Amino acid sequence: MKNRIKVLRAEQDWTQAKLAQELEVSRQTVNAIETGKYDPSLPLAFKIARVFGQRIEEIFVDGEGD
Give the pLDDT confidence of 14-34 residue by residue, as tens digits: 999 999 999 999 999 999 999
Structural domains present in the chain: 2-54 (1.10.260.40)
pLDDT at 64: 64
| 2 three-state secondary structure | strand
- The CA distance from 27 to 11, in Å, is 18
- Cβ neighbours of 11 (radius 10 Å): 10
Give the pLDDT confidence of 29-58 residue by residue, as tens digits: 999 999 999 999 999 999 999 999 999 999
pLDDT at 21: 98
> Is the per-residue pLDDT at 66 higher than 60?
no
pLDDT at 1: 87
